[in-house]
Amino acid sequence: MLDYLKSYWTLRWTQQRQFHPIPSNITRHFVKTAAGDIELLVAEPTRRSPEAAPIFFVHGGNGHATVWLEWMTHLAETYGARTYAYSLRNHGASFSVSYFRMVWLTSLDDLASDLSNAVLEATSREGQAPIIVAHSSGGGLSQYILSKGTVKARALALVGAVPHFGNVHVYFNWFTRIDRWFMLRNFAHFCHPNSGLNTDRLVYNAFFGHEYPLSEVTEFRKWMANYECMWWPYSMGGSGFSIKTRKWLSPVAILRNIVKWTGAEDKVLVMIGTEDLMMGGTERRMVQEFQEGVRTLQSEKKLDIDVAKENLAIEKVDKYVTEARQGGVRLVEVLNAGHHTQNDVQWKEACEALRRFAEQA
C-alpha cells in the first residue's frame, strides 16, 4: 500500500497529443470538428472484397486508436475491407484538453459528438455504414449513439464492453476483484481519474490475463491518456436498485439503427475474456436481452427472421475461443484473456472470431 501511495508522483496533470508509431499500411488522418481535430487511423486491405463491410474500432477509457493496431494489421491481411480507428479528445493524437475541463467539464454528449463525427466520416468515405467494434466504455458510448440514432451500423461487436444496462457492476468488480485499496488510494490521490491505473501492476491486474507478460505493461501504459473524463462512466450507470435488474439503454432502440438485416446473419457480437475481472459476468444477460430485442423487432414486423428460443449451444473453435450463436446474436468467449482482449496474448484468435462475425454480417 505504501508503494501505491508513493505512486502519487507518477500521476500526470497535463496531456500532450501522442503520435504513436503506425505501420506503413495504416495512415493517420484527422476529422475536423467544432471542438478540435479527432485522430482517425485508416488501414487498407491487401485485397478488396465487394461483400465485406468496413469496420470502425472504438477504444475505451484511457485508450486511443492504436490499441487496435494488432487487429487492424491482421485484418488488413485477412479481411477484404478498410478498417478505421479513432481517438477521443485528449486521447491519442486528438486535440488535448486541460485537466479540470476534461475531467469535470466534459460531458458524455461531448464524447458522443467526437465518436459520431468520426463514424460519419468513415460512413461518408465508404458510402455505407460500418461494422462498429467497441471496447469497454467505448462500448457503452457506441450503444448510446446508436440508441439515439445519431449513426447507423452494419453490425455491432461489443468487446469487454459496458453493457446496455449500465456499468455499476464495473465498480463493484473493481473494488472487490481487482483492487480493494482503490477507494483509499483514490482519496490520497485527490480523486485523480488514473489513481487506479498508475502503476504497471494495477494496469496488469485490471486489463490483462495471467498469460500476458508483466514486463510489457510499461510500454502499454506509456500511451494511455493521463486523465479521463469522469462524466463518461458516471453517465452510464443506469437506474435500479439491483445490478441484475438495472436498466440504462434499450436493446430495441440500439437494434433499430443496425441496418441490412436479411435474417441469416448475426448482427450483434458479445466478446468477453474469461479473465476479464471488470466486465465478466455480464455477457449472458447482454446476449439474452439483445435476443429479446430481435424478437421484439420481429413481432413488430420490422424484421423477417426466425428467432429460436433454445439455449445457446457453445462450440469450441480453437485453443482459446468458444462461440455460440442464436437469433441474430453471437457470444464469443476467449480463454485466459483479460479486459483488453485485443491486446492480450490471445489477440489473434480473438481477431479471427471477429473476422468470422464481420464476414457474415
Q: Is the pLDDT of residue 26 over 90?
A: yes
| CA separation for the pair 361, 218 (Å, rounded) | 37
Total Cβ atoms within 10 A of residue 242: 7
Q: Is the pLDDT of residue 169 over 60?
A: yes
Across residues 306-320, what is the average pLDDT? Answer: 67
pLDDT digits (tens, 9 = 90+) for 32-65: 999 999 999 999 999 999 999 999 999 999 999 9
Whether residue 236 contacts residue 282, with contact meaning beta carbons closer than 8 Å, is answered with no
Q: Is the pLDDT of residue 309 over 60?
A: no
At 190 the pLDDT is 86
Whether residue 122 contacts residue 56, with contact meaning beta carbons closer than 8 Å, is answered with yes
Count CA atoms closer than 13 A to 186's CA, side-chain side: 13
pLDDT digits (tens, 9 = 90+) for 109-124: 999 999 999 999 999 9
Mean pLDDT of all residues belonging to the chain: 93
The pairs formed by 303-308 with CB atoms below 8 angstroms and a separation of 24 or more are: 303/261, 303/263, 304/263, 305/261, 305/262, 305/263, 305/264, 306/263
SS3 state of residue 155: strand
pLDDT digits (tens, 9 = 90+) for 249-261: 999 999 999 999 9
| CA separation for the pair 255, 297 (Å, rounded) | 8
If we measure between CA atoms, which residue out of 42, 96, 37 comes closest to residue 69?
A: 42
| CA separation for the pair 302, 308 (Å, rounded) | 17
pLDDT band at 10 (very low <50, low <70, confident <90, very high): confident
Q: Is the pLDDT of residue 6 over 70?
A: no
| CA separation for the pair 69, 71 (Å, rounded) | 6
Whether residue 139 contacts residue 162, with contact meaning beta carbons closer than 8 Å, is answered with yes
Q: Is the pLDDT of residue 191 over 80?
A: yes
SS3 state of residue 356: helix
| CA separation for the pair 348, 214 (Å, rounded) | 19
Q: C-alpha cell of 90?
A: 485528449
At 148 the pLDDT is 98
Q: Is the pLDDT of residue 312 over 80?
A: no
Task: Write down the domain spans for the chain.
Answer: 2-360
For the ranges 77-81, 139-143, 201-205, 259-263, which has the lowest average pLDDT? 259-263
| CA separation for the pair 112, 168 (Å, rounded) | 20
pLDDT digits (tens, 9 = 90+) for 336-346: 999 999 999 99
At 270 the pLDDT is 98
Q: Is the pLDDT of residue 307 over 70?
A: no
Whether residue 167 contacts residue 140, with contact meaning beta carbons closer than 8 Å, is answered with yes
If we measure between CA atoms, which residue out of 254, 329, 319 comes closest to residue 284?
A: 329
| CA separation for the pair 6, 188 (Å, rounded) | 10
| CA separation for the pair 329, 266 (Å, rounded) | 5
At 2 the pLDDT is 56
Topology given in CATH for the domain delimited by 2-360: Rossmann fold (3.40.50)
